[in-house]
Amino acid sequence: MEDIVELDSGRVLGRTFEKYRLFQGIPYAAPPVGELRWSSPQPVEPWPDVRDATAPGNPCPQLPQDFADIASLDEDCLFLNVTAPRGGGRKPVMVWLHGGGGANGEGAIFDAHRLAAAEDVVVVTPNSRLGIFGNFGYPGLAGGGGFGLEDQQAVLRWVQRNIGEFGGDPGNVTLFGESYGGLNVSAHLVAPGSAGLFHRAIVQSGFALLHAPANGWAPGSPELPTMWMSTVELEALAEHLVGELGWVRPGQGPAIEQLRRVPVEQLVNVSSVFSRPAFGGAVLPESPVPALPAGRFHRVPVLTGGTRDEARLFTALFWDAAGQPITADGYDKLLAEAFDAAADDVAQQYPADAYPTPSVAWADVVGDCAWARSVWDFANALSADTATYVYEFADRDAPPVVPFPPGFPPGAHHSAEVPYQFDLGEPAPLNDAQWRLAATMNRYWANFARSGDPNGPDLPGWPRFSAAEPRVQSLHPDEIAGIDFAARHRLEFWARRVSGA
């Protein structure tokens, strides 16, 4: 059934189903093309007629990857999708920022009808500029490193102006995201321009405080003491790359004008180099690394966590699936390169012969020392100043989001929880117990969106996280209960033996 809604930019035609309404491909900002490439998002030009909103808009420019098989060369991509339950009343709003490594993904692939219809919330899934289009910086370019964040702020302002037409409450907005999306949620907790645009935050595997060891992401990846880059570093990186590629030439006009004329198909080939927002500019003046522990963030309730076996996805994709499975000797070399004098201590805690393969052993090392520590540090940084709830998705039988190499157990890998929340093209192949967990997770998330507290009737109690009671809610089909997260992931060992690793 057709459904027409009037927005501040014009009328849109969506569809109404038995339990929900769906509007797709709604522009929230002007196309960032031509002179608007690498500019702050500008207002949409109103349209006089009813605009068809029954199909998604273009994804932002990207090349397909194993983990995100999406391809686009169209910069006209600033669209959002709204899934709303049927029925009256003002409903909580949940704005989802997708993952995908910072250079891939789109909002439309996250079918939110289960969450919206069952939990009576309005869900918004936007696109924002990615990679070199969203995180680029260059000397003389205003706003460098923050265009994607500005797009997301434009989405939140669109929500303030228009979400009431879909039954949403602009005074109760939850910003939530996973992986790169979670990293951006963390940035918005600190970004001055995001103040007041959202009222609760959910960070899923967001790695804002992650400290990755050498080879922690992929073979040859350097140690990364922080996931954040300054605008000074960004501009130096961009200037070097632009020089290598010959995109700016003397006598051809101002550098920024020349760069805005570079074809999309050339830019997208190096898009992944610019996969994170930068700090030091007007959009994100300060890195979240010092800001969050110091309490310099917007005081909104936060729900945060990750998966039990985060790093298995990266090790499987970039080592084993790439034809470079880690051998026993290779494992020892990785430990030595990553942990130096503490390598033997790490090997005693994570002996290779205790795992199916050395690759799985390395994945668990990285999962604990980098990902679990990041969740722990993030929770401790926030909990002294705001209500904080922490979870771990622990279903090691979750269906993998991408094919894993034979003999490599996926476990509860990075992003394994997402198909429990959304349908990604089609429902995930979950068994009955897993579907019950999916429903429970969405109930927790929606309760948090309603009140800032995930607890509710007929749900296992979820205590607030604090330094005195640092319990983490383990989400598993067979049991949902508080766990000793620090013990599960050997965090005392990591703090004692390889502090700073």
> Catalytic residue at 414?
yes
Instruction: Compute the C-alpha angle 151/155/156, nearest 5°.
Output: 120
Distances (CA, A) of 160 to 87, 165, 501: 20, 11, 42
> Catalytic residue at 476?
no
Listed in order, strand segments (DSSP E) in 112-212 are 122-126, 168-178, 200-204
Beta bridge partners of 203: 177, 304
* Catalytic residue (choose from 9, 72, 128, 179): 179
Distances (CA, A) of 156 to 20, 125, 477: 22, 11, 34
Interatomic CA distance for residues 9 and 141, integer angstroms:
29
**Matching residue, tokens 């350097």:** 222
> Given CA atoms 191, 192, 193, 196 in this order, what sign does their dihedral have?
positive
* Catalytic residue (choose from 188, 199, 211, 414): 414
Interatomic CA distance for residues 7 and 3, integer angstroms:
13
> Catalytic residue at 179?
yes
Q: Which residues contact 458 (CB under 8 A, 6 or more apart)?
A: none
Q: Which residues contact 147 (CB under 8 A, 6 or more apart)?
A: 32, 38, 39, 40, 41, 129, 133, 134, 135, 136
Interatomic CA distance for residues 332 and 343, integer angstroms:
8
E strand or H helix at 357: none
* Catalytic residue (choose from 75, 106, 310, 417): 310
Residues with active-site annotation: 179, 310, 414
